[in-house]
Structure 1
Amino acid sequence: MKKLYSIAATATGGRNGHVKSENNVLDLEVRMPRALGGANDDYANPEMLFAAGYSACFDSALNLILKKNKIQTGITTVTAYVNIIQLENGGFGLAAELSVNIPDVGLEEAQSFTEEAHKICPYSNATRGNIEVKLTVSNN
């Protein structure tokens, strides 16, 4: 495999600590969300960061597919919902839903483009077979 890009981030203090990227662009406190026993939802958490990364990456993959197919649309949006789930073995896992909106195309076309993006998105490829990812598509 040919490496195209690499970045590192370091965490200290786990879910109640700090994360910082090696280039200092990302530099923030993280805290356990209220639903998992934290005091409030006023800080970022790992699932929020994953949702942000997945939604941005998938939207880029989607727009690459649209460009390759010479499709003109309005502004696409991808919202990633990331859930922590309890596994049968007592451990924890993730599940995700991507809500994809591709305006100005038919719903069947939007579904097809979304499925194509799901094949090339690095996050989708990394999670495939590891976590459930549900795709929901709209065209308004």
Structure 2
Amino acid sequence: MAQALYTATVTSTGGGRDGRVESPAGDLALDVRPPAALGGAGEAANPELLFAAAWASCFNGALQLMMKNAGVDVAKFAPAVTANVTLNKDDSDGGFRLSGEITVAFDNADELDNAAELVAQAHQFCPYSKAVRGDFDAEARLA
């Protein structure tokens, strides 16, 4: 079992995908709405957008750590990480499932010989990348 270092807590109220999410400290407080592409109102965050933001920022941190560990000048190559998270219909059970993709762009990329290796290392290290590969201890229970 892993050693817990930090726990984030967020509560969803209202209509779930059409409601509100808020942390106890109030440092995250957002309305959530289904995207217009799914027939919703849009005009607010949605779960896929929030997951993409979390994955991109975590992956970028992991990537910059891999760069520093390899002696690469992070400021010179300034990575930009884009996460695409897609909600898919799952025909196997009539529900839904997520898929995703991380794309990394570097400044001065033509001078970074080990870019692909650094991205692969970050993908192995990033906790969100691990979670989407199924390496995630999940539980659902009553309060």
When normalised by structure 2's length, the TM-score is 0.84
Gaps of at least 5 residues in structure 2 are 136-143
| Post-superposition offset of 1:105 | 4.4
> What does residue 94 of structure 1 align with?
98
The answer on whether the counterparts of 1:7 and 1:22 sit within 8 Å (CA) in structure 2 is no
Matched residue, 1:134:
none
SS in 1 for 2:84: strand
Partner of 1:43 in structure 2?
44
SS at match of 1:80: strand
What SS class does the counterpart of residue 53 from structure 2 fall into?
A: helix
Q: Which moved more, 1:72-81 or 1:62-71?
A: 72-81
Q: Which runs of 5+ in 1 are unaligned?
A: 131-140
Greater displacement, 103-112 / 16-25? 103-112
Give 2:25's aligned residue.
23
Report what 2:87 is aligned to: 84
Percent identity between matched residues is: 43
Alignment-derived partner of residue 133 in structure 1: none
User: Does residue 121 of structure 1 match 2:123?
Assistant: no
Task: Give the whole-Å Cα distance in 2 for the aligned partners of 1:86 and 1:45.
Answer: 17
Change in 2 beyond 3 A, CA 1:103/1:26:
same
Cα-Cα RMSD = 1.5
The letter of the residue matching 1:37 is: G
